[in-house]
Amino acid sequence: MRALRLAFGTALCLAISFGMDLSIPIVAPVFAVFLLASVNRPMPLKAALGLVMVVAMTTGSGLLLVPLLQYYFMSGVLLVGLCLFLAFRYGLRGGNNLVSTFLVAGVTMISAAGTADLQLAMTVVGALAKGLLLAVVALGVSHWLFPEPPSPQKPPSKPGLPNDDATHLALRATLVVMPVFLLALADPSSYMPIIMKSVSLGRQSCTTTARGAARELLGSTLLGGALAIAFWFALKWFVHLWMFFLWMLLFGLLVARKLYGLSHTRYSPSFWLNTLVTLIILLGQSVQDSVAGKDVYTAFAVRMGLFVAVTLYACLMVQLLDVRPRMRQGTTTAGQAPPPS
């Protein structure tokens, strides 16, 4: 049931977003993936509206960072980095991971857009709020169609990490996102998909070890790109909104079966989650390029190259920030006097 909910809710958000011609149509399906993968119970109306309002207000606070980025650049960049660190650390310490992810996306996308045009920033605020609202509606519809089997006990909440570990991982995730944010300041409207990709990588880096970083991060990015290519050529057979929905339902179900362990795989759920997010971002941007009359294949190649570059940088950060603590520990041990025999 969970695989069906994830695939149906994602496909529903994708079809409605492009059907209604929302300003940033990939936001709603990406938020739906995070929401449906994290919440296994229908969200009450009051809680759903509260989540949308809280996220809209907190992400809208990214507008306050725009004057600092315009007139006091270094101070603004440092404040953005601090906000990202606190948002990641909040989720790692046991807070709501959804709120943490939405805050990271909002702070980076809104503040970057505001440096180019305040109207663009307001458009991003509206797109994030509408996307989250649509994802919440998709969550309710998916649970109505595919209800969760009744459980006698509420599943226990996941405990937060110790303070030192949460601080270390939050710093690593912040360093993954920050260079992409700085790159986006040059042309915010073109780099919005890269920001969303970096947010997904930052979230994934919190659960990835140095040993499996390349396989998890780079492998999921390349697989997402391959699935986006297959989706694009399948969609070209018959271009219609309903076929867009049905193909997304099929591809989403294939990935969701791996994510929930219904089909045997050696990769972690975060690998498949990042694969699905990458597929949606690349595919959605290709559809928009086609509508705008751009060269789809050239734009896809450039965007995929940027995705791979960002992923390689994320792998480097995971390696560096995992090796150094072990090096310090090894140095301390080597410097101690040997025990008496």
**DSSP for 287-314?**
HHHHHTT--HHHHHHHHHHHHHHHHHHH
For the entire predicted model, the pTM comes to 0.86
Q: Closest by alpha carbon to 195, among 128, 288, 119? A: 128
Continuous H helices in the chain: 2-19, 27-38, 45-60, 66-71, 73-92, 97-116, 118-145, 163-184, 188-205, 213, 219-235, 241-259, 269-291, 296-335
Q: Closest by alpha carbon to 207, among 151, 273, 141? A: 273
pLDDT of residue 224: 93
Q: What is the pLDDT of residues 82-96, one digit of tens each?
A: 999 998 998 888 877
Q: What is the pLDDT of residues 201-252, one digit of tens each?
A: 888 777 776 667 778 888 899 999 999 999 999 988 888 888 999 999 999 9
Angle between helices 2-19 and 269-291 (to 10 degrees): 20
First to last CA, the chain: 62
Residue 136: CB partners within 8 Å, gap ≥ 6? 35, 43, 48, 51, 52
Q: Which amino acid would we find at residue 311?
A: T
Q: Closest by alpha carbon to 299, among 309, 290, 308? A: 290
